[in-house]
Amino acid sequence: MPGNMLSKGEVFVIDTDAASREQLSMALQQNAYDVICFADGASLLSEAKARMPACVLLEMPPDRSGLDVLKRLREENCMAPVLVTSANGSIAMAVDAIKSGAFDFIEKPFRTHDIVERIDAAIDEFVPRASNRQRWLTGCEPLTEREGDVLGHLADGLTNKEIARRMHLSARTVEGYRASILRKAGAKNVTDLLRRIFGQGPAHQG
């Protein structure tokens, strides 16, 4: 990614073809995205618990195992848009993917600049939901809707366990959202994060 460009967020990519991965990575990095490639769905799911991507690009293999990955991402409250790609796609597969939570279905072969445009569009559609909660993050990565909810509870002084109960999530999932918020804000800890939020108001006396 060019050094003078602000990152637009991380894109998780699963693609079995090394050449496709290389082309996608280069195109996305040139368009200010950070790219993390995964060899399989299990490693992507593990990483998605710890950090929130801006978008997921998921190849659908012939055995359709990608549907399981897609469903798991939704079950674990990954709010990022998921774009499914397939070299042997069918209308039935596209319908199944959309029903399972995919934002878009893209047949291979595709042109990388088309993929970048569709990723931009998918992220733009997700971002407005959290826009009212992210004004304090001007110049930083936008928060997802779930991250905005977690941030609101943190600002109310709730603990991870209390937030988990309130949002019907596991404490570990909440920790992942919190870590992602801190990373996006460039804050060292929650105290630093809250100081940045509330420090936007009138200066404190003293």
- What's the rounded mean pLDDT across residues 52-66? 87
Predicted confidence at residue 59, as pLDDT, reads 92
Pick the CATH number of 134-196 from 1.10.10.10, 1.10.3720.10, 1.10.1060.10, 3.10.50.40: 1.10.10.10
Residue 143 one-letter amino acid: L
- Name the burial class of residue 92, with classes exposed (0-12), middle (13-18) and buried (19+) by CB atoms within 10 angstroms of its CB: exposed
- Name the burial class of residue 187, with classes exposed (0-12), middle (13-18) and buried (19+) by CB atoms within 10 angstroms of its CB: middle
How is 97-151 classified by DSSP, letter by letter?
HHHTT-SEEEESS--HHHHHHHHHHHHHHHGGGGGGG-GGGTTSPPPPHHHHHHH
Whole-model pTM: value is 0.60
Show me where the domains of the chain are located: 10-127, 134-196
Predicted confidence at residue 64, as pLDDT, reads 79
Predicted confidence at residue 48, as pLDDT, reads 85
Predicted confidence at residue 116, as pLDDT, reads 92
Does the pLDDT of residue 206 top 80, yes or no?
no
Residue of higher predicted confidence among 194 and 189: 189
CATH T-level assignment (fold) for domain 10-127:
Rossmann fold (3.40.50)
Separation between Cα atoms, residue 192 and residue 17, nearest integer Å: 42
Predicted confidence at residue 129, as pLDDT, reads 46
- What's the rounded mean pLDDT across residues 135-153? 73
Between 15-24, 85-94, 130-139, 183-192, the lowest mean confidence (pLDDT) is in 130-139
Does the pLDDT of residue 83 top 90, yes or no?
yes
